[in-house]
């Protein structure tokens, strides 16, 4: 059985797809993965045949204009920019995906390319499997993540999904039907979710059921697998060993608070470091700063209290920290909670406010909008999490997350579905 997988997006989008691809390959499937140019090495490092989408996520995400819109909270302009970007890359992306899905029996895609991959799988008469990093489909437990992070009544929660679909379809219908015409399919009036519902397509939910305990209504078509995490061997392949200098710094004092920039739109890196230094000084804690995609001076030490690092092994380092502050992407949220860290989420967009709200509801975190971030707001959010009670709750929740094997559960669900 030939399985064509697509992991377009940031590393948080790509790495879970790489891990699932490696597991399916080990189980005997003929797997080929397609990734952005800048992340293709992830698949190659784990021995997965990987093709190049000839697109660079980092170049896209680091656009000065796009980062400015995100930093200011102007989501309307940012979304228009995203749509314009999709139009500009459509011919290249379509050609790559059509070629990638040729002769495939199954197509698996993350949410970034779900719209395109579902159409191409239909044209290729292949089964389609979706991979979701947060609850995207209609349910009565939570409202649609773009509507609110506050939970309404079950009826109102369900209405928000209808509201979003009604607003989205006129925007996305041209994208869908232009591609359908390109691959020889008739136009449709149904959105992607409705079409996948009709075909009974598997939608893997690659996050922990312990973060969404109210979400009990979904059956085997939407299995909640747990986060897809690398084995110790895979972690070493993807990240190497902990830098000896960092290892010595971690051992040389109290566990630090981890500040992870990830793909946050930090427009003034120097000011961000000043903010972190102020907050950590007032709290009397050390700070480990993960630069992510932000151009930070890796030599910064602030008298030994603050250490800035580039890429590093989250699974090895985060358990040696005391708390975490980051943007709230699903993968980073999974890493910090699995490490037992009370977490502040400075949410920018997409699923980040949802994960912030979930950690707050579970008593293991606090959340604020990135646009509201200041020394005062961060101090107010972080200080309560340094108490014993949030730490105890976070460690208890971490034990539950570590008991899950998301990669195994996702591959098992895949095999049950495609071999049925």
- What is the overall mean pLDDT for the chain? 91
Across 30-64, b (16+ Cβ under 10 Å) vs e yields ebbbbbbebbbebbeebebebbebebebeebeeee
For domain 2-227+404-418, the question of CATH label 3.30.420.480 is answered with no
Task: Kindly indicate the confidence band of residue 305, based on its pLDDT and cuts at 50, 70 and 90.
Answer: confident
Q: How far apart are CA 37 and CA 40, in angstroms?
A: 5
Contact between 199 and 118 (Cβ < 8 Å): no
- Find tokens 């979930």 and name the residue: 358
Q: What's the average model confidence in pLDDT over 387-407?
A: 97
Q: Which pair of structure tokens corresponds to residue 32?
A: 């080929």
Task: Kindly indicate the confidence band of residue 79, based on its pLDDT and cuts at 50, 70 and 90.
Answer: confident
- Find tokens 């009544």 and name the residue: 153
Residue 291 has pLDDT above 80, yes or no: no
pLDDT digits (tens, 9 = 90+) for 193-250: 999 999 999 999 999 999 999 997 788 999 999 999 999 899 889 887 788 889 999 9
DSSP-derived secondary structure for 275-290: HHHHHHHHHT--EEEE
Instruction: Please work out, in degrees rounded to the nearest 5, the angle formed at the alpha carbon of residue 89 by the alpha carbons of 86 and 93.
Output: 100
The answer to whether domain 2-227+404-418 and domain 241-402 are alike in fold is: yes
**Domains of the chain by residue range:** 2-227+404-418, 241-402
Residue 152 has pLDDT above 70, yes or no: yes
Q: Which pair of structure tokens corresponds to residue 383?
A: 């200080």
**What is the DSSP-derived secondary structure letter of residue 322?**
S
Q: What's the average model confidence in pLDDT over 133-151?
A: 94
Q: Which pair of structure tokens corresponds to residue 87?
A: 């139009």
pLDDT digits (tens, 9 = 90+) for 306-352: 998 877 788 889 999 999 999 999 999 999 999 999 999 999 888 99
* pLDDT score at 407: 98
Q: What is the pTM of this model?
A: 0.93
For domain 241-402, the question of CATH label 2.60.40.10 is answered with no
């Amino acid at each position: 059985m030939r399985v064509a997988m697509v992991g377009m997006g940031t590393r948080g989008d790509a790495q879970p797809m790489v891990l699932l691809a490696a597991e399916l390959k080990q189980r005997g499937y003929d797997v080929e993965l397609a990734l952005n140019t800048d992340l293709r090495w992830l698949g190659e490092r784990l021995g997965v045949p990987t093709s190049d989408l000839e697109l660079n996520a980092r170049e896209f995400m680091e656009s000065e204009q796009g980062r400015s819109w995100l930093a200011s909270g102007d989501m309307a302009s940012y979304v228009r920019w995203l749509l314009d970007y999709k139009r500009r890359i459509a011919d290249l992306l379509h050609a790559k995906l059509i070629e990638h899905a040729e002769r495939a029996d199954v197509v698996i895609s993350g949410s970034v390319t779900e719209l395109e991959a579902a159409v191409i799988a239909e044209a290729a008469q292949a089964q389609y499997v979706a991979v979701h990093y947060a609850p995207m489909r209609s349910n009565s437990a939570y409202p649609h993540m773009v509507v609110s992070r506050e939970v309404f009544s079950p009826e109102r929660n369900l209405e928000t999904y209808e509201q979003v679909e009604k607003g989205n379809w006129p925007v996305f219908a041209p994208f869908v039907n232009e591609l359908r015409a390109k691959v020889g399919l008739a136009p449709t009036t149904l959105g992607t979710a409705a079409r996948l519902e009709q075909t009974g397509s598997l939608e893997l939910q690659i996050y922990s059921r312990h973060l969404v305990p109210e979400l009990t209504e979904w059956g085997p078509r939407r299995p909640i697998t747990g986060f897809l995490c690398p084995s110790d061997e895979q972690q070493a392949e993807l990240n190497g060993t902990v830098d000896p200098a960092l290892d010595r710094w971690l051992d040389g004092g109290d566990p630090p608070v981890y500040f992870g920039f990830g793909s946050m739109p930090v427009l003034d890196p120097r000011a961000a470091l000043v903010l972190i230094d102020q907050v950590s000084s007032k709290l009397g804690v050390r700070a480990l700063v993960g630069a992510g995609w932000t151009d930070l001076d890796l030599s910064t030490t602030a008298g030994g209290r603050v250490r800035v690092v580039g890429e590093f092994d989250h699974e090895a380092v985060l358990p040696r920290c005391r708390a975490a502050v980051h943007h709230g992407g699903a993968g980073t949220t999974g890493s910090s909670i699995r490490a037992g860290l009370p977490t502040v989420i400075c949410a920018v967009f997409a699923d980040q406010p949802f994960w912030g709200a979930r950690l707050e509801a579970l008593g293991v975190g606090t959340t604020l909008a990135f646009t509201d971030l200041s020394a005062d707001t961060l101090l107010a959010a972080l200080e309560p999490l340094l108490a014993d009670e949030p730490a105890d709750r976070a460690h208890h929740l971490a034990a539950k997350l570590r008991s899950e094997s998301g990669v195994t559960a996702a591959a098992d669900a895949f095999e049950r579905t495609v071999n049925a």
